[in-house]
């Protein structure tokens, strides 16, 4: 008999239960991608759960021998997207097709519904040249619609430094500035504005997401979170020299869970400054900085909407190759 138990990473008396909960996501990732998988670590999830800008509700499915066989969570953001619930869900590969996933999904959906949320979002992933069996077989069956298809691409490092330097060059109206493991105060105001725009400028498919409200304090808080998770972070911005304003940025994070893998985060060039190859220059400069400051990193991974043709073209130019896919599934309550 499998029971559902709410679990918190912040409750010391549930340490083992939480470890089992985290391990289910890792086991599920390994079954999809083998050694090439990546999953959140327990300490990273604890830092995120403690953040006051969200409520995180986790649940573990526990078998009669106390083994955790399934895990789910819903994140309710408190600062933006007040109608949305962001759901994660995995069942250990050896315990599938026994109704555990359906029970976990019903639990997180009910928590979200009680908290006044009416848009539920969940992701599925699959290897390149495979099919989205979990999305088509499970999410669709539970009333979810596929609303955005994302390509996962990987860049193998190191790259030739001189070739990267060539890609960094361009119009003298812009200067690139890089920062490692922190953000200069002088960037903060402009950087917050860029992040606000990033939340709706990147293609969103049919995802019903709203603009996020960013200020300097929130950017600083985000940096504090990244560092508290034990992550390294390399960021490059583009400054428009005539106005002195920041007009683009790109960021790579490296988790202590997977120290050889860089996660590409946001890349944005504001609309008014597109067409100057700034996306390519930013990413080339940031990649060079990752190679220089974090030489243990052997790959950077990125996720792009399949209709984000400009970003995909930049990535191909740098040498990224598509190796997996992700689909965002959404259910909107009537
Ligand atoms: C998707 C997942 C959570 C399903 O967990 P589960 O415990 O096997 O789900 P259930 O037993 O409740 O499945 C209910 C029904 O969904 C359908 N289903 C589930 N997995 C399926 C699959 N891989 N292919 C086709 N149909 C599937 C079936 O109709 C199943 O009923 P049946 O077994 O009587 O035929 C699990 O496979 C998993 O962890 N996948 C990887 C992580 C993931 O994709 N998470 C996001 C899910 S939206």
Ligand 1 pocket: which residues have CB below 6 Å? 28, 89-91, 96-102, 122, 124, 133-134, 137-139, 141
Q: How confident is the model at residue 320 (pLDDT cuts 50, 70, 90)?
A: very high
For residue 93, report the distance from its CA to the centre of ligand 1, in Å.
10
Strand (E) or helix (H) holding 312: helix 309-318
Distance of alpha carbon 41 from alpha carbon 25, whole angstroms? 10
The arithmetic mean of pLDDT across residues 41-49, rounded, is: 97
Q: What percent of the chain has pLDDT over 90?
A: 91
Q: How far apart are CA 19 and CA 43, in angstroms?
A: 10
Planar angle of CA 230, 231, 233, nearest 5 degrees: 145
| Residue at 204 is within a domain | yes
- Please calculate the CA angle 262-161-182 and round it to the nearest 5 degrees: 45
Contacts of 206 (CB under 8 A, 6+ apart): 145, 147, 148, 330
User: Does 133 fall in a domain?
Assistant: no
> Residue 185 domain-assigned?
yes
Residues 58 and 171 in one domain: no
176 and 250 share one domain: yes
Averaged over 216-233, what is the pLDDT? 97
| Position with higher pLDDT, 37 vs 91 | 91
- Range(s) of the domain holding residue 275: 154-325
Using the mean position of ligand 1's atoms as its centre, give its distance from the Cα of residue 198 in Å: 33
CATH number of the domain that residue 211 is part of: 3.40.630.30
- Domain membership of residue 128 (yes or no) is no
Q: Is-contact 303 152, C-beta < 8 A?
A: yes
Q: How many domains does the chain have?
A: 2
Rg (the chain; Cα; Å)? 20
Statement to judge: residues 69 and 203 lie in one domain = no
Among 63, 98, 117, the domain boundary falls at 117
pLDDT at 6: 98
Per-residue pLDDT, averaged over 153-170, amounts to 93
Residue 211 scores a pLDDT above 90: no
- Residue 169, Cβ neighbours under 10 Å: how many? 11
Answer for the pair 315, 182: CB distance below 8 angstroms, yes or no.
no
Query: Do 164 and 300 reside in the same domain of the chain?
Result: yes
Q: Whose CA is nearest to atom 15 of ligand 1?
A: 138
Asked if 37 and 30 touch (Cβ cutoff 8 Å), the reply is yes
Q: How far is the CA of 322 from the centre of ligand 1 (A)?
A: 25
Which residue has its alpha carbon closest to ligand 1 atom 10?
Answer: 99
Residues 302, 218, 264: CA angle, nearest 5 degrees: 10
Q: Which residues pair with 128 in a beta bridge?
A: none
Task: Examine the domain organization and report whether 180 and 283 are in the same domain.
Answer: yes
137 C-alpha vs ligand 1 centroid, how far in Å?
6
| pLDDT for 202 | 80
Atom 40 (ligand 1): residue with closest C-alpha? 90
pLDDT higher than threshold 90 for residue 204: no
199 and 88 in a common domain = no
Alpha carbon of residue 153 to chain centroid: 14
Pocket test residue of 97, 99, 141, 147 for ligand 1, highest count of atoms within 8 A of CB = 97
Look at residues 275, 217, 216 and name the one whose alpha carbon lies nearest to residue 247. Answer: 275
Q: Residue 142 carries which DSSP code?
A: G
Question: Are 163 and 303 contained in the same domain?
Answer: yes
What average pLDDT does the structure give for the chain?
Answer: 96
90 and 181 inside one domain: no
* CA-based end-to-end distance of the chain: 34
Q: Measured from the CA of 90, which atom of ligand 1 is nearest? A: 39
Question: Between the CA of residue 169 and those of 89, 151, 266, 313, what are the distances in Å?
Answer: 44, 28, 21, 17
Over range 26-37, report the average pLDDT.
Answer: 92
Identify whether residues 105 and 230 lie together within a single domain. no
Rounded to the nearest whole angstrom, what is the distance from the C-alpha of residue 97 to the centroid of ligand 1? 6
pLDDT at residue number 201: 82
Q: Which among 201, 198, 168, 186 has a CA at the least distance from the CA of 245? A: 186
């Amino acid at each position: 008999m499998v029971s559902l138990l709410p679990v918190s990473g912040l409750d010391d008396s549930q340490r083992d239960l939480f470890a089992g909960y985290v391990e289910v996501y890792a086991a599920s990732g390994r079954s999809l991608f083998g050694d090439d998988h990546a999953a959140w670590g327990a300490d990273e999830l604890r830092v995120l759960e403690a953040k006051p800008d969200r409520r995180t509700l986790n649940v573990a499915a526990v078998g009669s021998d106390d083994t955790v066989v399934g895990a789910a969570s819903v994140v309710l953001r408190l600062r933006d997207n007040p109608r949305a619930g962001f759901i994660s869900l995995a069942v250990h590969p050896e315990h599938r097709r026994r109704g555990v996933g359906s029970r976990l999904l019903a639990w997180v959906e009910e928590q979200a519904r009680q908290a006044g949320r009416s848009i539920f979002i969940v992701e599925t992933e699959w290897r390149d040249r495979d099919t989205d069996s979990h999305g088509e077989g499970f999410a669709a069956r539970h009333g979810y619609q596929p609303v955005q298809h994302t390509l996962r691409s990987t860049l193998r490092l190191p790259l030739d430094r001189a070739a990267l330097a060539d890609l960094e060059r361009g119009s003298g109206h812009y200067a690139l500035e890089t920062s490692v493991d922190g953000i200069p105060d002088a960037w903060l105001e402009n950087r917050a504005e860029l992040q606000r725009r990033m939340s709706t400028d990147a293609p969103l498919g049919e995802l019903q997401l709203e603009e996020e409200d960013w200020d300097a304090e929130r950017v600083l808080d985000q940096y504090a979170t990244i560092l508290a998770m034990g992550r390294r972070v390399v960021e490059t911005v583009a400054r428009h020299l005539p106005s002195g304003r920041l007009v683009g940025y790109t960021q790579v994070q490296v988790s202590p869970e997977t120290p050889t893998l860089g996660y590409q985060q946001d890349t944005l060039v504001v609309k008014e400054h597109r067409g100057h190859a700034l996306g390519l220059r930013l990413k080339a400069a940031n990649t060079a900085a990752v190679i220089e400051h974090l030489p243990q990193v052997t790959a950077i991974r990125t996720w792009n909407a399949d209709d984000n043709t400009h970003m995909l073209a930049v990535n191909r130019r740098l040498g990224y190759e598509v190796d997996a896919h992700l689909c965002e599934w959404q259910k909107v309550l009537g």
